[in-house]
Amino acid sequence: MDTGYRFILASASPRRKEILGHLNIPFEVRVSNAEEPANEEHLSPAEYVSLLAKTKARAVYEHTGASETGRSTVWIGADTVVVYDGEILGKPRDEEDAFSMLYKLSGSGVTGENAETKHSVYTGVAVLISDASGNLISEDRFSVCTDVFFGPMSDDEIRWYIATGEPMDKAGSYGLQGIGGTFIRRIDGDYNNVVGLPLYELYRFLKKKGILE
């Protein structure tokens, strides 16, 4: 689909790349090396994660935007955090940190056939638009929340899962679309949002802006 715009995804995540590909538009990937700001202002999870997304998109735009002219460009940044009992969980620092996160998310040892523990996944999205001269003409951001329900995990199951290596680069120390899905009873909301990019909301936003027909 040729929209007349150039699209740049400011993320190294292969999962976000795959999801954005479902829009059937050509896009480039530019990795943001911006340092994530700490939540010093104690923003809500929705506000904080959208700030992280903006930081990524801004960093890529400021590094390449002014030098690459000739076509209007859409810059898309995204970030994801997991929130349990008011605590924002990012990527684990090490295996011990991953164990602590998974122990919380799986209910800290709760038992029973129908036992489950809820947490929320927030993905923030920032959409920047620059004109053909590289000037930034709009900057928007939003976030989407999905509730995820874990079944109980034993200590041995948590250690086994960590040993696969999958948790170590994931917010909240698990991947819904991978092995981590084994321990998830259900979700309430957008599946793609948990994976890393709320495709439906992004599509509706781009249509509203007149970027997609």
Q: What is the tens place of the pLDDT at every residue in 159-207?
A: 999 999 999 999 999 999 999 999 999 999 999 999 999 999 999 999 9
By residue range, what is the domain housing residue 126? 6-208
| Alpha-carbon gap, residue 190 to 201, rounded angstroms | 9
What is the rounded end-to-end Cα distance, in angstroms, of the chain? 10
Q: Point out the catalytic residue in the list 2, 79, 94, 156.
A: 79
124 assigned to some structural domain: yes
Report the C-alpha gap between 109 and 187 in whole angstroms: 20
For residue 136, pLDDT beyond 80 = yes
Query: Can you give the CATH number for the domain in which 145 is found?
Result: 3.90.950.10
Domain annotation covers residue 64: yes
Closest among 112, 114, 35, 75 to 202, alpha carbons compared: 75
Q: What is the pLDDT of residues 20-72, one digit of tens each?
A: 999 999 999 999 888 888 887 789 999 999 999 999 999 999 888 656 657 89
Indicate whether 213 belongs to any domain.
no
Q: pTM score, two decimals?
A: 0.91
The pLDDT value given to residue 64: 81
For the chain, what is the domain count?
1
In a domain, 19, yes or no: yes
Residue 1: inside a domain: no
79 in active site: yes
